[in-house]
Amino acid sequence: MHPRNPTRPIFVGDSRTGIIQIGGGIALDHPLASGLTTPHPIAPVSVQTMTAGYTHTIDQCVAEVHKLTSAGADIVRVAVPEKKDTEALKEILAQTTVPIVADVHFHFKRALEAIEAGVHKIRLNPGNITDRAQVEQVIDACKERSIPIRVGVNEGSIIERKDKQARAKELGAIFGNNKHGYMMAIMIAKLEEYLDIFYERDFYDIAISAKSMDAALVIDAYTEISKRFAHPLHLGVTHAGPKETGCIRSVVALGTLLANGIGDTIRISYANDPIYEVEDGLELLYTLGKRERIGAELIACPTCGRIQVDLFTLVQEVNDKLVEDITVPMKVAVMGCVVNGPGEAEGADVAVFAGDRKGIIYVQGEKVATVSEDDILDRLLDECKSFQSKVLNGEVKLGEKKVDIVPPDPLGELGSGWEKMAASRMGHTPLTIEGE
C-alpha cells in the first residue's frame, strides 16, 4: 500500500455542516501552496454521492440528502440544471447537515445562483461552458466566498458534442492508435488549459476529476494526472452501469488507485439507489484501511456441500441487523460448519458455527451457547449487543481474544459428525483444531 500523494487541500462545508477537508499534506514551499499559512496533514478519503431526484422538489431532495447522510455520505451533490433548482438550494441547505455541491453543466448562471444560495462547492466542467468570461465570473464568485471548485475533464465532456462531424473526427484521432494514450493526452492538455484560467485569477482551491466508463483508462488517466498536478483527486468511474457490474468496474479502478496512494475523495456511481454508492464506497475504504470502520465487519463463509442450515438467509438477516444495531467495529463471523470455520473466523469477536440445524456461539474465544437454527439470529445479535456494551464501557477490547474452538466429540455436538467431516476434508490429519 503506497502512502497518499500530498496535495493542496480544499475545505468543503461550514460551521453548521462541519467542514470536510479533501486532500492535504502539501509542503508550504510548494508553488501550489500559495496562501496556505499552516500545514494540513492529509485528510481521510471522503465518500461522495449524488441525489437521484429533482433538486426543485425540496422535500424529496432534503429527504434523500438525509438518507444519504445517515448512510455515511461525507458530501452530497445535487444537480441544478434549471433556475428552479438553484432557487430551491437555499431551503435545502437550511434543512440539511452535510456539505452540498452544486453540479453545473452548460449554464454558468446556475453556478452563480448556487454560490449566491450558499452552496459549499461547485462542480464545473469548463469544457461545456464555452465562453471563458463566464467561467471567470464563476471563479471570481467562488474566490470571494472561499468556495472550492471541482474541475472535471471527464471523458464525455472534453469532446465536442454539438457538432457530430467534429466529434467523429476527434474520436477517429483519439481511438486511431492507442485509445488510452490519445485520451490521456487530451485530458491532460485540457486540464492544463482549464487550470491556467484558474491560476491566472489566483484561484487554487481546486479538486480534479477525469472520469471515464473505462476502468483501465480511469486508472491510467488518474495515475498520469497525479504525477502532474498537486490538487486533490475526485475518483470515479462514470456511467459504471447497474450495481452488479458497476461495483466491479468501480472497485477495480478506485481500489487500484487508492492502493497506489492516488485519490482523496470518491464517488462510486450506479444506475441504482445512490445509497449503494455510499455503502460500497465506505466498504471499499474500510477494506483498504483508508478509513476507520464504523459498525460491524461481517465475515461469512460461502457455504459448500457440508452446510446444514440456511446460511444465506441467516447471513443476510445478520447483516441487516448489525447495520441497525452495532456501531463499534467488531468482527462477527457466521460460518457454516466447524471444519473450516475456526480458521476462517480467526480474529472474530463474536462467531457462530452452524451444524445440523444448530449453531454454537462464541464470544472472544469462549463458547457461550448452543442454540437451534431458529434461535441463532436472535442469540447472536444479543451477544453482539452485549459485547458492544462491554466495549463501550471499557470492559473488553476489540480483537483481544481470538476464536479458540475445541471441536465437538466424534458424535458431533452439532449433530454433523465432526470426525466424519474432518476426515472427509483432511484425510488423516489429527482431529484436534488448536486455537491460536
Beta bridge partners of 76: 49, 100
Site map 327..356 versus ligand SF4, x via CB under 6 A: --------xxx-xxx---------------
* Neighbouring residues of 88: CB distance < 8 A, sequence distance ≥ 6: 55, 56, 57, 58, 61
* CA distances (Å), origin 349, targets 318, 320, 330, 335, 385: 15, 18, 6, 13, 12
State yes or no: residue 408 binds ligand SF4 (CB under 6 A).
Answer: no
Residues 6+ apart with CB under 8 A from 428: none
Give the contacts of 292 (CB within 8 A, at least 6 positions apart). 44, 329
Q: How many residues bind ligand SF4 (CB under 6 A)?
A: 12
Residues whose CB is less than 8 angstroms from the CB of residue 205 and which lie 6 or more positions away in sequence, other chains included: 8, 10, 11, 142, 143, 146, 147, 148, 149
| CB of residue 430 to ligand SF4, shortest distance in Å | 18
**Cβ-proximal residues to 262 (8 Å cutoff; 6+ apart), any chain:** 5, 222, 223, 226, 233, 235
Using alpha carbons only, give the angle 262, 267, 273 rounded to the nearest 5 degrees: 160
Cell numbers found for residue 436: 491460536
CA distance 184 to 216: 11
What x-and-dash track marks residues 125-154 binding ligand SF4 by CB under 6 A?
------------------------------
Nearer to ligand SF4 (CB atom), residue 124 or residue 345: 345
Q: How far is the CB of 58 from ligand SF4 (least distance, A)?
A: 49
CB 337, min distance to ligand SF4, A: 3
Nearer to ligand SF4, 175 or 312 (CB): 312
Minimum CB separation of residue 309 from ligand SF4 in Å reads: 9
Q: Which of positions 279-318 make contact with ligand SF4 (CB under 6 A)?
A: 301-304, 306-307
Q: How far is the CB of 335 from ligand SF4 (least distance, A)?
A: 5
Q: How far is the CB of 293 from ligand SF4 (least distance, A)?
A: 23
Q: For ligand SF4, which is the closer residue by CB, 57 or 340?
A: 340
Cβ proximity to ligand SF4: between 114 and 337 the closer is 337
Smallest gap from residue 182 Cβ to ligand SF4 (A)? 47
b/e 48-86 (16+ beta carbons within 10 angstroms → b): bbbbbebbbebeebbebbebbbebbbbbbbbbbbeeebb
Report the DSSP pairing between strands 46-50 and 265-266: parallel
Q: Quick one: cell of 318? A: 445478520
Ordered DSSP codes for 242-271: SHHHHHHHHHHHHHHHHHTT--SEE----S
Nearest-approach distance from CB 315 to ligand SF4, in angstroms = 11
4 vs 331 by CB, closer to ligand SF4 = 331
Quote the strand ranges of 134-227, DSSP E. 149-152, 206-209
Distance CA 292, CA 287 (A): 10
223/370 with CB nearer ligand SF4: 370
Output the smallest distance, CB 173 to ligand SF4, in A. Answer: 52
Q: Of all residues in this chain, which one has the CB nearest to ligand SF4 in the complex?
A: 336
Closest distance to ligand SF4 from the beta carbon of 284 (Å): 25
- Per the DSSP assignment, residues forming a β-bridge with 237 are 212
Taking a C-beta distance cutoff of 8 angstroms, is the pair 278, 52 a contact? Answer: no
By C-beta, is 156 or 417 nearer to ligand SF4?
Answer: 417
Where along the sequence are the contacts to ligand SF4 (CB under 6 A)?
Answer: 301-304, 306-307, 335-337, 339-341
